[in-house]
């Protein structure tokens, strides 16, 4: 279960500058798609967390399935497999559905997380200014 890492800070009104204290107007550069809504930012960050989770699951399933491509190739060529190779093939083939599902979940999360690129570009660009 994901937890929010929000930090609540309190600032007194005496610390905030008034409009008359600002000598020059603040210029905000126009970006392609500015992200202003906190909900949008939270959604983008959550999509990145989901993407990370799917990457971890995909890597785990890939390890569990192992490298069965050569064994499947040999089986499709008509070779009979026995012993350890046959057990490895059984385990790998039964894990293929999990691998396909994990790959599909990863692709969906990857697509959903693409707006994070714009947010990162925007934040990093402003951080360098």
Tokens of 90: 């059984």
* Digit-coded pLDDT (tens) for 3-36: 444 434 344 333 433 343 434 443 434 444 554 5
Across 60-86, average pLDDT: 90
* Digit-coded pLDDT (tens) for 87-115: 989 888 888 999 999 999 999 999 999 98
Length, in residues, of the chain = 129
Q: Alpha helices of 21-114 — where are they, by DSSP H?
A: 38-65, 69-76, 83-112
pLDDT level of residue 129 (50, 70, 90 thresholds):
low
């Amino acid at each position: 279960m994901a937890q929010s890492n929000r930090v609540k800070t309190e600032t007194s009104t005496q610390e905030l500058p008034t409009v008359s204290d600002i000598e020059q107007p603040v210029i905000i550069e126009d970006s392609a798609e500015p992200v202003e809504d906190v909900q949008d930012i939270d959604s983008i960050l959550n999509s990145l967390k989901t993407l990370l989770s799917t990457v971890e699951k995909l890597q785990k399933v890939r390890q569990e399935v192992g490298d069965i491509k050569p064994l499947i190739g040999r089986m499709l060529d008509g070779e009979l497999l026995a012993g350890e190779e046959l057990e490895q093939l059984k385990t790998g083939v039964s894990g293929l559905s999990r691998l396909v599902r994990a790959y599909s979940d990863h692709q969906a999360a990857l697509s959903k997380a693409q707006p994070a690129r714009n947010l990162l570009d925007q934040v990093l660009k402003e951080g360098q200014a």
